[in-house]
Structure 1
Amino acid sequence: MSDSTATENAEATLTQERLDLLSSLAHARHFLRFTARDLTTEQASERTTASLLTIGGLIKHVTEVEKGWAEFLVVGAAYMEKDFTEWTEEDFAERDKDFQLQPGESLDGALRAYEEVAARTDELVRTLPSLDAVHELPKAPWNIDEAWSVRRALLHIVAETAQHAGHADIIRESLDGSKSMG
Protein backbone atom coordinates (compact mmCIF):
# COMPACT_ATOMS: atom_id res chain seq x y z
CA MET A 1 0.00 0.00 0.00
CA SER A 2 1.40 3.42 -0.95
CA ASP A 3 1.77 6.25 1.57
CA SER A 4 -0.96 8.24 -0.19
CA THR A 5 -3.36 5.28 -0.08
CA ALA A 6 -2.66 4.80 3.62
CA THR A 7 -3.28 8.50 4.24
CA GLU A 8 -6.51 8.39 2.22
CA ASN A 9 -7.72 5.36 4.20
CA ALA A 10 -6.86 7.04 7.51
CA GLU A 11 -8.61 10.25 6.42
CA ALA A 12 -11.71 8.26 5.44
CA THR A 13 -12.15 7.12 9.05
CA LEU A 14 -12.05 10.64 10.49
CA THR A 15 -15.22 12.49 11.38
CA GLN A 16 -16.24 15.42 9.23
CA GLU A 17 -15.48 17.74 12.14
CA ARG A 18 -11.87 16.55 12.32
CA LEU A 19 -11.53 16.81 8.55
CA ASP A 20 -12.90 20.37 8.74
CA LEU A 21 -10.42 21.26 11.47
CA LEU A 22 -7.53 19.85 9.43
CA SER A 23 -8.72 21.75 6.38
CA SER A 24 -9.09 25.01 8.32
CA LEU A 25 -5.62 24.62 9.81
CA ALA A 26 -4.13 23.89 6.39
CA HIS A 27 -5.89 26.89 4.85
CA ALA A 28 -4.71 29.36 7.49
CA ARG A 29 -1.17 27.95 7.46
CA HIS A 30 -1.00 28.15 3.67
CA PHE A 31 -1.69 31.88 3.67
CA LEU A 32 0.86 32.55 6.39
CA ARG A 33 3.56 30.56 4.57
CA PHE A 34 2.55 32.07 1.22
CA THR A 35 3.47 35.54 2.44
CA ALA A 36 7.08 34.33 2.69
CA ARG A 37 7.29 33.02 -0.88
CA ASP A 38 10.50 33.95 -2.69
CA LEU A 39 11.82 36.02 0.23
CA THR A 40 15.33 35.94 1.62
CA THR A 41 15.93 35.77 5.36
CA GLU A 42 16.88 39.44 5.25
CA GLN A 43 13.62 40.42 3.54
CA ALA A 44 11.61 38.26 5.94
CA SER A 45 13.30 40.10 8.82
CA GLU A 46 12.49 43.56 7.49
CA ARG A 47 10.05 45.85 9.28
CA THR A 48 7.81 47.55 6.73
CA THR A 49 5.16 49.07 8.99
CA ALA A 50 5.03 50.95 12.28
CA SER A 51 4.76 47.56 13.98
CA LEU A 52 7.82 45.60 15.10
CA LEU A 53 6.37 42.54 13.34
CA THR A 54 8.12 40.90 10.41
CA ILE A 55 7.11 37.97 8.21
CA GLY A 56 9.86 35.74 9.59
CA GLY A 57 9.04 36.77 13.12
CA LEU A 58 5.36 36.03 12.65
CA ILE A 59 6.11 32.57 11.28
CA LYS A 60 8.42 31.93 14.23
CA HIS A 61 5.81 33.23 16.70
CA VAL A 62 2.95 31.20 15.24
CA THR A 63 5.18 28.11 15.37
CA GLU A 64 5.84 28.60 19.08
CA VAL A 65 2.22 29.40 19.86
CA GLU A 66 0.94 26.36 17.97
CA LYS A 67 3.55 24.17 19.67
CA GLY A 68 2.31 25.37 23.07
CA TRP A 69 -1.35 24.87 22.22
CA ALA A 70 -0.58 21.39 20.87
CA GLU A 71 0.88 20.53 24.27
CA PHE A 72 -2.21 22.06 25.89
CA LEU A 73 -4.37 19.66 23.83
CA VAL A 74 -2.63 16.74 25.51
CA VAL A 75 -1.89 17.87 29.08
CA GLY A 76 -3.69 21.16 29.62
CA ALA A 77 -2.09 24.11 31.37
CA ALA A 78 0.52 21.79 32.93
CA TYR A 79 2.61 22.24 29.77
CA MET A 80 3.68 25.64 31.11
CA GLU A 81 6.41 25.94 33.70
CA LYS A 82 4.57 28.85 35.30
CA ASP A 83 1.45 30.88 34.70
CA PHE A 84 1.75 34.12 32.74
CA THR A 85 0.71 35.95 35.89
CA GLU A 86 4.05 34.84 37.40
CA TRP A 87 6.18 35.99 34.46
CA THR A 88 8.84 38.61 35.02
CA GLU A 89 9.96 41.37 32.66
CA GLU A 90 12.84 39.08 31.69
CA ASP A 91 10.39 36.29 30.77
CA PHE A 92 8.45 38.64 28.52
CA ALA A 93 11.68 39.99 26.99
CA GLU A 94 12.73 36.43 26.19
CA ARG A 95 9.30 35.74 24.69
CA ASP A 96 9.64 38.85 22.51
CA LYS A 97 12.51 37.08 20.74
CA ASP A 98 9.85 34.74 19.31
CA PHE A 99 8.66 37.68 17.21
CA GLN A 100 11.98 38.16 15.39
CA LEU A 101 14.41 35.93 13.57
CA GLN A 102 17.51 35.99 15.72
CA PRO A 103 21.13 35.98 14.48
CA GLY A 104 21.88 32.56 13.03
CA GLU A 105 18.19 31.81 12.33
CA SER A 106 16.88 31.68 8.78
CA LEU A 107 13.54 31.92 7.08
CA ASP A 108 14.02 28.39 5.71
CA GLY A 109 14.71 27.12 9.23
CA ALA A 110 11.62 28.88 10.58
CA LEU A 111 9.48 27.37 7.82
CA ARG A 112 10.87 23.88 8.50
CA ALA A 113 10.17 24.25 12.22
CA TYR A 114 6.63 25.39 11.38
CA GLU A 115 6.07 22.32 9.19
CA GLU A 116 7.20 20.03 12.02
CA VAL A 117 4.90 21.66 14.55
CA ALA A 118 1.99 21.63 12.07
CA ALA A 119 2.52 17.92 11.42
CA ARG A 120 2.41 17.23 15.17
CA THR A 121 -0.79 19.25 15.60
CA ASP A 122 -2.41 17.54 12.62
CA GLU A 123 -1.53 14.14 14.08
CA LEU A 124 -3.22 15.16 17.34
CA VAL A 125 -6.34 16.25 15.45
CA ARG A 126 -6.42 12.79 13.87
CA THR A 127 -5.70 10.77 17.01
CA LEU A 128 -6.84 12.49 20.20
CA PRO A 129 -9.61 10.42 21.75
CA SER A 130 -12.02 13.32 22.15
CA LEU A 131 -12.38 16.90 21.02
CA ASP A 132 -14.69 17.39 24.02
CA ALA A 133 -11.96 16.96 26.65
CA VAL A 134 -11.70 20.15 28.70
CA HIS A 135 -8.53 21.57 30.21
CA GLU A 136 -8.08 24.47 32.59
CA LEU A 137 -6.39 27.41 30.85
CA PRO A 138 -3.11 28.80 32.11
CA LYS A 139 -3.55 31.90 34.24
CA ALA A 140 -3.05 34.95 32.03
CA PRO A 141 -4.48 38.47 31.97
CA TRP A 142 -5.89 37.87 28.47
CA ASN A 143 -7.70 34.62 29.32
CA ILE A 144 -11.27 35.50 30.18
CA ASP A 145 -12.37 31.86 30.28
CA GLU A 146 -11.28 29.34 32.87
CA ALA A 147 -11.13 26.30 30.62
CA TRP A 148 -11.31 25.28 26.97
CA SER A 149 -12.14 22.09 25.20
CA VAL A 150 -9.64 20.56 22.82
CA ARG A 151 -11.98 21.70 20.03
CA ARG A 152 -11.90 25.32 21.25
CA ALA A 153 -8.10 25.29 21.50
CA LEU A 154 -7.87 24.00 17.91
CA LEU A 155 -10.20 26.75 16.76
CA HIS A 156 -7.94 29.22 18.56
CA ILE A 157 -4.92 27.92 16.61
CA VAL A 158 -6.85 28.45 13.38
CA ALA A 159 -7.91 31.97 14.42
CA GLU A 160 -4.45 33.00 15.62
CA THR A 161 -2.83 31.68 12.45
CA ALA A 162 -5.36 33.46 10.22
CA GLN A 163 -4.94 36.71 12.17
CA HIS A 164 -1.17 36.61 11.82
CA ALA A 165 -1.44 35.64 8.14
CA GLY A 166 -3.32 38.93 7.70
CA HIS A 167 -0.57 40.81 9.51
CA ALA A 168 2.04 39.11 7.31
CA ASP A 169 0.07 39.98 4.18
CA ILE A 170 0.15 43.69 5.07
CA ILE A 171 3.87 43.49 5.83
CA ARG A 172 4.54 41.73 2.51
CA GLU A 173 2.50 44.22 0.51
CA SER A 174 4.45 47.04 2.17
CA LEU A 175 7.72 45.23 1.40
CA ASP A 176 7.33 44.69 -2.34
CA GLY A 177 3.70 45.10 -3.36
CA SER A 178 2.96 41.34 -3.35
CA LYS A 179 -0.40 40.24 -2.00
CA SER A 180 -1.57 36.88 -0.72
CA MET A 181 -5.09 37.40 -1.99
CA GLY A 182 -6.71 39.73 -4.50
Structure 2
Amino acid sequence: MSGIAPPVADERTALTTYLAHQRRLLRVAAHGLTDEQARSAPSVSELSIGGLIKHAARCEAFWTGLILREQGGPQRTSDESDPEEFRLGPDETLAGVLAEHAEAAARIDAVIAAIPDLGHPVPVPKGVPWIPAEVEEWSVRWVILHLIEEISRHGGHADIIRECIDGATQYPLLAAAEEWPDPWFQPWEAAHTGGG
Protein backbone atom coordinates (compact mmCIF):
# COMPACT_ATOMS: atom_id res chain seq x y z
CA MET A 1 0.00 0.00 0.00
CA SER A 2 1.03 3.59 -0.35
CA GLY A 3 1.69 6.23 2.24
CA ILE A 4 -1.39 8.21 1.18
CA ALA A 5 -5.03 7.25 0.66
CA PRO A 6 -5.86 5.96 -2.83
CA PRO A 7 -8.18 7.83 -5.23
CA VAL A 8 -11.89 7.71 -4.40
CA ALA A 9 -14.96 7.86 -6.62
CA ASP A 10 -17.79 8.82 -4.29
CA GLU A 11 -18.59 10.10 -0.81
CA ARG A 12 -19.01 6.72 0.90
CA THR A 13 -15.77 5.39 -0.57
CA ALA A 14 -13.96 8.61 0.39
CA LEU A 15 -15.11 8.45 4.00
CA THR A 16 -14.44 4.75 4.51
CA THR A 17 -11.11 4.90 2.64
CA TYR A 18 -9.83 7.79 4.75
CA LEU A 19 -11.01 6.09 7.94
CA ALA A 20 -9.16 2.89 6.98
CA HIS A 21 -6.06 4.91 6.06
CA GLN A 22 -5.96 6.74 9.40
CA ARG A 23 -6.40 3.46 11.27
CA ARG A 24 -3.48 2.02 9.33
CA LEU A 25 -1.25 4.96 10.23
CA LEU A 26 -2.16 4.71 13.92
CA ARG A 27 -1.40 1.00 13.93
CA VAL A 28 1.92 1.34 12.08
CA ALA A 29 3.20 3.49 14.95
CA ALA A 30 3.27 0.23 16.93
CA HIS A 31 5.26 -1.73 14.34
CA GLY A 32 8.12 -3.62 15.92
CA LEU A 33 7.43 -2.50 19.49
CA THR A 34 7.63 -4.79 22.47
CA ASP A 35 4.80 -4.79 25.00
CA GLU A 36 7.05 -2.81 27.34
CA GLN A 37 7.67 -0.16 24.66
CA ALA A 38 3.98 -0.05 23.73
CA ARG A 39 3.20 0.49 27.40
CA SER A 40 5.75 3.26 27.88
CA ALA A 41 4.83 6.94 28.14
CA PRO A 42 8.10 8.71 27.27
CA SER A 43 6.70 12.24 27.03
CA VAL A 44 5.25 14.51 29.69
CA SER A 45 1.85 13.05 28.81
CA GLU A 46 0.70 9.70 30.20
CA LEU A 47 -0.27 8.50 26.71
CA SER A 48 1.23 5.30 25.33
CA ILE A 49 0.96 3.78 21.88
CA GLY A 50 -0.72 0.65 23.25
CA GLY A 51 -3.15 2.82 25.20
CA LEU A 52 -4.00 4.91 22.14
CA ILE A 53 -4.77 1.80 20.11
CA LYS A 54 -6.89 0.47 22.98
CA HIS A 55 -8.74 3.79 23.11
CA ALA A 56 -9.34 3.71 19.33
CA ALA A 57 -10.81 0.21 19.62
CA ARG A 58 -13.18 1.25 22.40
CA CYS A 59 -14.10 4.43 20.58
CA GLU A 60 -15.09 2.51 17.44
CA ALA A 61 -17.04 -0.03 19.52
CA PHE A 62 -18.87 2.81 21.27
CA TRP A 63 -19.93 4.42 17.99
CA THR A 64 -21.02 1.06 16.59
CA GLY A 65 -23.28 0.66 19.60
CA LEU A 66 -24.78 4.11 19.03
CA ILE A 67 -25.40 3.50 15.33
CA LEU A 68 -27.12 0.19 16.14
CA ARG A 69 -28.95 1.70 19.12
CA GLU A 70 -27.85 -1.28 21.16
CA GLN A 71 -29.22 -1.55 24.65
CA GLY A 72 -26.45 -2.16 27.13
CA GLY A 73 -23.79 -1.52 24.48
CA PRO A 74 -20.35 -0.22 25.33
CA GLN A 75 -20.62 2.42 28.03
CA ARG A 76 -18.52 5.56 28.11
CA THR A 77 -18.98 8.63 30.20
CA SER A 78 -16.41 10.63 28.28
CA ASP A 79 -13.81 10.36 25.57
CA GLU A 80 -10.85 11.11 27.78
CA SER A 81 -11.86 11.07 31.44
CA ASP A 82 -10.56 7.56 32.19
CA PRO A 83 -6.77 7.63 32.10
CA GLU A 84 -6.64 3.80 32.09
CA GLU A 85 -8.25 3.82 28.66
CA PHE A 86 -5.09 5.45 27.33
CA ARG A 87 -2.68 3.02 29.00
CA LEU A 88 -1.68 -0.50 28.13
CA GLY A 89 -2.12 -2.21 31.47
CA PRO A 90 0.34 -4.72 32.91
CA ASP A 91 -2.02 -7.59 32.05
CA GLU A 92 -2.61 -6.35 28.47
CA THR A 93 -0.50 -6.94 25.37
CA LEU A 94 0.09 -4.94 22.23
CA ALA A 95 -1.08 -7.92 20.16
CA GLY A 96 -4.27 -8.03 22.23
CA VAL A 97 -5.19 -4.37 21.72
CA LEU A 98 -4.28 -4.56 18.01
CA ALA A 99 -6.66 -7.52 17.70
CA GLU A 100 -9.34 -5.66 19.68
CA HIS A 101 -8.96 -2.67 17.37
CA ALA A 102 -9.09 -4.81 14.21
CA GLU A 103 -12.27 -6.49 15.47
CA ALA A 104 -13.93 -3.17 16.39
CA ALA A 105 -12.96 -1.67 13.02
CA ALA A 106 -14.29 -4.68 11.08
CA ARG A 107 -17.57 -4.54 12.99
CA ILE A 108 -18.24 -0.84 12.40
CA ASP A 109 -17.18 -1.20 8.76
CA ALA A 110 -19.76 -3.97 8.31
CA VAL A 111 -22.44 -1.89 10.05
CA ILE A 112 -21.70 1.15 7.87
CA ALA A 113 -21.68 -0.98 4.70
CA ALA A 114 -25.15 -2.30 5.56
CA ILE A 115 -26.67 1.20 5.91
CA PRO A 116 -27.70 2.48 2.47
CA ASP A 117 -28.10 6.13 3.50
CA LEU A 118 -25.22 7.95 5.20
CA GLY A 119 -27.84 10.38 6.48
CA HIS A 120 -29.26 7.60 8.69
CA PRO A 121 -29.86 9.12 12.17
CA VAL A 122 -27.65 8.21 15.12
CA PRO A 123 -28.80 9.16 18.64
CA VAL A 124 -26.85 11.66 20.70
CA PRO A 125 -25.87 10.72 24.27
CA LYS A 126 -27.48 13.13 26.71
CA GLY A 127 -25.86 14.82 29.67
CA VAL A 128 -22.37 14.95 28.20
CA PRO A 129 -21.01 18.47 28.77
CA TRP A 130 -19.21 18.89 25.43
CA ILE A 131 -22.24 17.89 23.34
CA PRO A 132 -24.70 20.73 22.66
CA ALA A 133 -27.93 19.93 24.53
CA GLU A 134 -30.08 20.92 21.55
CA VAL A 135 -28.53 18.29 19.24
CA GLU A 136 -30.91 15.34 19.00
CA GLU A 137 -29.15 13.20 16.43
CA TRP A 138 -26.13 12.87 14.21
CA SER A 139 -25.87 10.99 10.96
CA VAL A 140 -23.74 7.99 10.04
CA ARG A 141 -21.83 10.42 7.83
CA TRP A 142 -21.06 12.60 10.88
CA VAL A 143 -19.95 9.55 12.87
CA ILE A 144 -17.48 8.50 10.16
CA LEU A 145 -16.08 12.03 9.96
CA HIS A 146 -15.76 12.12 13.75
CA LEU A 147 -13.91 8.78 13.74
CA ILE A 148 -11.51 10.08 11.07
CA GLU A 149 -10.87 13.13 13.25
CA GLU A 150 -10.46 11.11 16.45
CA ILE A 151 -8.16 8.48 14.99
CA SER A 152 -6.10 11.08 13.10
CA ARG A 153 -5.55 13.11 16.26
CA HIS A 154 -4.45 10.07 18.22
CA GLY A 155 -2.32 8.88 15.29
CA GLY A 156 -0.42 12.16 15.64
CA HIS A 157 0.00 11.50 19.35
CA ALA A 158 1.29 8.01 18.53
CA ASP A 159 3.79 9.42 16.01
CA ILE A 160 5.29 11.71 18.65
CA ILE A 161 5.42 8.96 21.25
CA ARG A 162 7.10 6.59 18.78
CA GLU A 163 9.75 9.17 17.96
CA CYS A 164 10.41 9.52 21.69
CA ILE A 165 10.78 5.74 22.07
CA ASP A 166 13.27 5.00 19.31
CA GLY A 167 13.27 7.83 16.79
CA ALA A 168 11.18 5.89 14.24
CA THR A 169 8.94 7.90 11.93
CA GLN A 170 5.94 7.04 9.79
CA TYR A 171 7.38 6.39 6.32
CA PRO A 172 10.30 4.20 7.43
CA LEU A 173 7.83 2.28 9.62
CA LEU A 174 5.42 1.85 6.69
CA ALA A 175 8.28 0.76 4.43
CA ALA A 176 9.28 -1.88 6.99
CA ALA A 177 5.78 -3.02 8.00
CA GLU A 178 4.56 -3.34 4.41
CA GLU A 179 7.87 -4.36 2.85
CA TRP A 180 7.77 -1.65 0.21
CA PRO A 181 9.73 -2.58 -2.89
CA ASP A 182 12.51 -0.14 -3.72
CA PRO A 183 11.45 2.28 -0.96
CA TRP A 184 12.49 5.91 -1.02
CA PHE A 185 12.91 5.62 2.72
CA GLN A 186 15.28 3.35 4.54
CA PRO A 187 12.89 0.84 6.18
CA TRP A 188 12.93 0.95 9.96
CA GLU A 189 14.94 -1.77 11.66
CA ALA A 190 15.02 -2.64 15.32
CA ALA A 191 18.12 -1.45 17.10
CA HIS A 192 20.45 -4.33 17.82
CA THR A 193 22.09 -4.40 21.18
CA GLY A 194 25.47 -6.04 20.89
CA GLY A 195 26.88 -8.22 23.57
CA GLY A 196 30.57 -8.29 24.33
Q: Where do 1:18-167 residues align within 5 Å?
A: 18-75=12-69, 79=73, 84=77, 92=81, 95-139=82-126, 140-144=128-132, 146=135, 147-167=137-157
DSSP-derived class of the 2:109 partner: helix
Deviations 1:123-178 (A, max 9, x none): 12211132112233112111136121111011101110011000000000011101
Report the Cα offset of residue 103 of structure 1: 2.2
Pair 1:18–1:108, CA change in 2 (3 A): same
Aligned residue identity for 1:136: P
Report the Cα offset of residue 101 of structure 1: 1.2
Contact 1:46/1:54, CA 8 A, preserved across alignment:
yes
Unaligned segments of structure 1, at least 5 residues: 1-14, 86-91
Pair 1:76–1:17, CA change in 2 (3 A): farther
With the length of structure 2 as denominator, give the TM-score of the two structures: 0.74
Cross-structure match for 2:185: none
Aligned residue identity for 1:42: E
Cα RMSD, aligned residues only: 2.3
With the length of structure 1 as denominator, give the TM-score of the two structures: 0.79
Moved over 6 A (4+): none
Cross-structure match for 2:161: 171
Report the Cα offset of residue 106 of structure 1: 0.1
More helix by share: 1
- Give the length in aligned residue pairs: 159
Q: Distance in 1 between matches of 2:28 and 2:107?
A: 20
